Amino acid sequence: MGNCCSDPVNFDGDIDLYHFDLHRAVGKGAFGKVRVVEHKKSKKLYALKYIDKAKCIKQKAVANIIQERRLLEEIDHPFVVNLRYAFQDDENCFFVLDLMLGGDLRFHLERLRYIPETVVKFWMAELSSALEYLHKQRIIHRDLKPDNILLDAMGHAHITDFNVAIHYSERRLHTSVAGSMAYMAPEVIGRLGYSWQCDWWSLGVVAWELLFHRRPFDGRTAEKMKHSILKDSVRFPSSAKEKCSKEGQQFLLGLLDRNTKTRLGCRDKDLGIEDVRKHPWLKKIDWDTLENKEAQPPFVPDMKKANFDVSHELDEFLMVEKPLTHSKRKQNPDLEKMKPELRQLEEQFTIYDFSKNKRMSYYPHNQPITNVVHPEESEASEIIQSTTNTLVPTSTWVDHSRPNSPINEDDAHHMPHRQSLYMPTHQPIPSVSVHESHEERSSAEGS
The dihedral built from the CA positions of residue 101, 106, 108 and 111, taken in this order, carries a sign that is negative
Nearest to 183 by CA among 147, 136, 137: 147
41 a known binding residue?
A: no
Which residue in 16, 52, 143, 257 is the catalytic one? 143
| CB neighbourhood size of 166 (10 A) | 29
Annotate 169-202 with b (16+ C-beta within 10 A) or e (fewer).
Answer: beebebbbbbbbbbbbbbbbbbeeebbbbbbbbb
Question: What CA–CA distance (Å, rounded) separates 263 from 158?
Answer: 23
Q: How far apart are the first and last CA of the chain?
A: 44
Q: Which residues sit opposite 399 in a β-bridge?
A: 177
Question: What CA–CA distance (Å, rounded) separates 305 from 307?
Answer: 6
| CB neighbourhood size of 220 (10 A) | 8
Return the SS3 of 128.
helix
- Is 143 noted as a catalytic residue in this protein? yes
Contact indicator for 158, 130 with CB cutoff of 8 Å: yes
Question: What CA–CA distance (Å, rounded) separates 103 from 292?
Answer: 21
Q: Which residues sit opposite 167 in a β-bridge?
A: 139
Nearest to 251 by CA among 203, 312, 184: 203
Question: What CA–CA distance (Å, rounded) separates 318 from 383?
Answer: 34
Question: What CA–CA distance (Å, rounded) separates 251 from 124?
Answer: 10
| Concatenated DSSP letters of 10-44 | -TTS---GGGEEEEEEEEE-SS-EEEEEEETTT--
How far lies 384's CA from each of 16, 56, 218, 341, 413, in Å?
Answer: 29, 11, 28, 15, 9
Query: Residue 193: which region, alpha, beta or left (left: phi > 0; alpha: psi -120 to 50)?
Result: left
Binding residues: 49
Active centre residues (catalytic): 143
Binding residues for ATP: 49
